[in-house]
Amino acid sequence: MLDAEGLKLLGAGLAAGLGMLGPGIGIGMIGAGAMNALGRNPEARGAILTNMILAIAFAEAVGIYAFIVAILLAIVA
């Protein structure tokens, strides 16, 4: 049988795993889109790189929030 501690850690693991799945896929799609755009228009490298880094930072922030929630679930709850 699962006790309270085991369920707490299971919830933290699910929160981290599922919470970081979306940003991981999103960052991959952003990188693929940027490489596709660079292949079509190499002269726009600066603008594409700037926008790509900004979008990756926002996606990464969601993953970091999920990680913090998972840590809080594991420690506090």
The answer to whether 12 touches 73, Cβ cutoff 8 Å, is yes
Query: 13: which residues sit within 8 A by CB, 6+ positions away?
Result: 70
The answer to whether 24 touches 64, Cβ cutoff 8 Å, is no
Note the pLDDT tens digit of each residue in 11-59: 999 999 999 999 999 999 999 999 999 999 999 999 999 999 999 999 9
pLDDT of residue 66: 94
pLDDT-based confidence at residue 1 (cuts at 50, 70, 90) = low
What is the CATH number that goes with domain 4-75? 1.20.20.10
pLDDT-based confidence at residue 71 (cuts at 50, 70, 90) = very high
Domain locations in the chain as residue ranges:
4-75
The answer to whether 23 touches 59, Cβ cutoff 8 Å, is yes
CA distances 3 to 6, 8, 47, 49, Å, are 5, 9, 53, 49
